[in-house]
Amino acid sequence: MIHPKSIAVLPFVNMSPGKENDYLCDGITEEIIHALAKIEQLKVTSRTSSFFFKGQNRPLTEIGRELDVANLLEGSLRVSGDRLRITAQLIQVSDDSHFWSESWDRKMEDIFAIQDEISLRIADKLREHLGHLDIADQLVQAPTSKVEAYRHYLQGKSLFNKWNPEDVYQAIGHFEKALQSDPDLIDAHTGLADAYSFLAVAGFAPRELAWKKAMESMQRATEIDTHNAPLNYLLANEAFFTEANFGEAMRYGQQAIASKPTYAEGHQFLAFLFMLRDDMKKAGEHLSYARSIDPLNPETKFYQAYFLYRSQFFDQAEVLLLELLEANAKNLPALITLIYVLLKKEAFERAERLIFGSPAEGIMPDEKLGLACLLWVMQGAAEKYPALLDELEGNASRDTSFQAHAYLFLVYAALNEDKKAFSVLEKLFKHRSSILLLAFGDPLAAPLRHNLEFEDFQKWIFALPNPNPPVRPVKRNSAELSEADATDYLQVLERFMETESPFLDPSLSLRSLANQLEMHPNQLSWLLNEKLGKNFNAYVNGFRVAHFKKLLADPGNAGFSLIGLAYESGFNSKTVFNTVFKKETGMTPKEFQKNRHLSG
């Protein structure tokens, strides 16, 4: 069932003559996503899944169904000199109806103020339409006082998101220019760290040099804000993949989502860590949340497939892995995991075709050697694997190939050579191999689980950090009122609506009504939702319908049209009036008028 308080922010469309402002459209879209994600009661689709539809001319109802959201926000940006014109509109997916739209004309120097203003306005309109949301007074904090630094950061982020070495190197240049303008722009530091770590892992730069630069950027970011979510996510990856320190990786991962509970990447990584620790319940919880807000991210689908593999649901895992490889044949993690699945299913011929049929730039030599050896061992091909095993043992003895270590461990497990397998495992800490960390609890190592030493190693390798990072405190809803205060405010509200008739103002908003009542908007929203069971629009439109009926009953208004009386009652749209009136009375306005005459 689709959550009614859910929204996806689609990439804003660049209405400027050239493409040079695409990065600014993307940046504004991302900032609104981040701002709305701060509202606890609102489910907001993450950037990757929202941007999946960039440049696609797909029906909005179809997009909403794929993203599993009830509402969409779409908008556009036009840049002219130093001025911005931004438009935004909210759409209800179920009937493809637009229930709010607005435009803003501002100077570029006001970019952060306008992002906050737009985000608050959107949040207000969602609350009026959907029901209570507890909204902060400010949703967007300026990351820098230097607009030029921010523009370079956005350009760098836009280039980095293309995920290829040429663009990533250009992104690094923009991040560095951003830091020349503002050395304390933490987003640019984490951008640099992300870029250099990508180049290191993907092999597009000398590994040690790239990691050194990534760590320098992380260290500078740490000096600015140790709680920054992207920073802690990067530190978690560094702790796992370069230090093979599971406890530290877990600690940083938990800090990332403590700082930003809606951080999809953080939840994905924690799901991965809990899978390795065999805590599938917690892994499933984090993965389920990541899937709910980032369903179209290939990384989310891979983690889901890996979760199914580690849970030994091999057929379901295979389906997802094949989908990933159909979308991207060079998805190496999906390819390797699919080979593991086929080995566990004893689909040896298919596994053999993938191992030996993969392109040269795909599977690394020692990984291919290890997979081939494992294949022949699991098939019981005694005439084939001894020579490969000798070669694998020789490569592992040089202590330079962690792939050789990992596959030697799995081969010994398949041969029921427990002692030899555990001796390889001890190199995990000596050589800090994250690949051995991955191999330890793999389903291919299942024959070792009967050994009492397995549990000892598991406790040793996957010990949780101590003490645990601070858990994000559960805060009391700032909007909530005591019973006595709620009763008093309800009386004040009802008296004000009856005597002052604020509903006759078509531009009345929850925030403006709260100001007139000298209440915080969150309190009025909570009061309507919890005590009257209505959202703001339903509550106010109820008064407007009642006023319309009074006007219709007055003989002095016989010369006025129905829509004219509707406008006099505070409605500003014929469509809204007709929809609301039928919902309130079960009849169209014309039917109601006709029945009234007949009964009269």
Q: Which of 63, 36, 37 is nearest to 50 (CA)?
A: 63
- Give CATH 3.40.50.10610 domain extents, the chain: 6-142
Question: Angle between the 521-531 and 510-517 helix axes, to the nearest 10 degrees?
Answer: 100
pLDDT for the residue 125: 95
Max Cα distance, the chain (Å): 103
The answer to whether 577 touches 541, Cβ cutoff 8 Å, is no
Q: What is the spatial distance between Cα 592 and Cα 17, in angstroms, rounded to a whole number?
A: 51
pLDDT for the residue 472: 47
Percent of the chain topping pLDDT 70: 95
Q: Specify burial of residue 440 (Cβ count, 10 A radius: 0-12, 13-18, 19+).
A: buried
Model confidence pLDDT, tens digit, residues 262-315? 999 999 999 999 999 999 999 999 999 999 999 999 999 999 999 999 999 999
Name the CATH code of domain 6-142 (choices 3.40.50.720, 3.40.50.10610, 3.40.50.620, 3.40.50.450): 3.40.50.10610
Residue 594 has pLDDT above 90, yes or no: no
Average confidence (pLDDT) over 380-397? 90
Q: How far apart are the first and last CA of the chain?
A: 46
Residue 120 has pLDDT above 90, yes or no: yes
Q: What is the spatial distance between Cα 567 and Cα 579, in angstroms, rounded to a whole number?
A: 14
Residue 32 tokens read as: 């609104």
The answer to whether 364 touches 401, Cβ cutoff 8 Å, is no
- Across the strands, what pairs with 14? 77
pLDDT for the residue 429: 66
Q: What is the spatial distance between Cα 100 and Cα 121, in angstroms, rounded to a whole number?
A: 10
pLDDT for the residue 476: 45
Sign of CA pseudo-dihedral 522, 526, 529, 532: negative
Weakest mean pLDDT among 146-150, 211-215, 354-358, 506-510: 354-358
Average confidence (pLDDT) over 3-22? 91
How many other C-beta atoms can be found within 10 angstroms of the C-beta atom of residue 401? 22
Q: Which of 258, 288, 252 is nearest to 273 (CA)?
A: 252
Q: Which of 245, 263, 243 is nearest to 254 (CA)?
A: 263
User: In which band, very low, low, confident or very high, does the pLDDT at 471 lie, cut at 50, 70 and 90?
Assistant: very low
Residue 532 has pLDDT above 60, yes or no: yes
pLDDT for the residue 335: 93
- Give CATH 1.10.10.60 domain extents, the chain: 483-599
User: In which band, very low, low, confident or very high, does the pLDDT at 441 lie, cut at 50, 70 and 90?
Assistant: very high
**Amino acid letter for position 196:** Y
Q: What is the spatial distance between Cα 467 and Cα 518, in angstroms, rounded to a whole number?
A: 45
pLDDT for the residue 475: 46
Residue 474 has pLDDT above 90, yes or no: no
Q: What is the spatial distance between Cα 349 and Cα 375, in angstroms, rounded to a whole number?
A: 10
Mean pLDDT for the chain? 91
Close Cβ partners of 499 (under 8 Å, ≥ 6 residues apart): none
Sign of CA pseudo-dihedral 213, 214, 218, 221: positive
Residue 414 has pLDDT above 50, yes or no: yes
Q: What is the spatial distance between Cα 235 and Cα 227, in angstroms, rounded to a whole number?
A: 11
Place of tokens 């967007």: 140
Q: Tell me the CA distances in angstroms from 518 to 228, 457, 500, 526, one per residue in order.
A: 36, 62, 15, 15
Percent of the chain topping pLDDT 90: 74
Residue 492 has pLDDT above 60, yes or no: yes
Close Cβ partners of 172 (under 8 Å, ≥ 6 residues apart): 156, 192, 195, 196
pLDDT for the residue 436: 83
How many other C-beta atoms can be found within 10 angstroms of the C-beta atom of residue 57? 5
Q: In b/e form, how buried is each residue of 194-226, taking b as 16+ CB within 10 angstroms?
A: bbbbbbbbeeebeeeebbebbbebbebbbeeee
Is the domain spanning 483-599 CATH 1.10.10.60? The answer is yes
Pairing label, strands 97-107, 13-14: unpaired
Residue 274 tokens read as: 């809990």
User: In which band, very low, low, confident or very high, does the pLDDT at 331 lie, cut at 50, 70 and 90?
Assistant: confident
Weakest mean pLDDT among 252-256, 402-406, 522-526: 402-406
Model confidence pLDDT, tens digit, residues 171-202? 999 999 999 999 999 999 999 999 999 888 77
Q: What is the spatial distance between Cα 407 and Cα 102, in angstroms, rounded to a whole number?
A: 59
The answer to whether 489 touches 521, Cβ cutoff 8 Å, is no
Residue 424 has pLDDT above 50, yes or no: yes
Average confidence (pLDDT) over 7-21? 91
Residue 226 tokens read as: 């140790």
pLDDT for the residue 597: 65
Residue 423 tokens read as: 């001796």
The answer to whether 193 touches 234, Cβ cutoff 8 Å, is yes
Q: What's the gap between Cα 566 and its chain centre? A: 42
Alpha-carbon Rg for the chain in angstroms: 30
For the chain, how are helix, strand and coil distributed in percent, rounded to 5?
Answer: 65, 5, 30
Q: Tell me the CA distances in angstroms from 411 to 251, 370, 371, one per residue in order.
A: 32, 8, 9
Residue 470 has pLDDT above 60, yes or no: no
Model confidence pLDDT, tens digit, residues 105-116? 999 888 999 999
- Across the strands, what pairs with 85? 78, 105
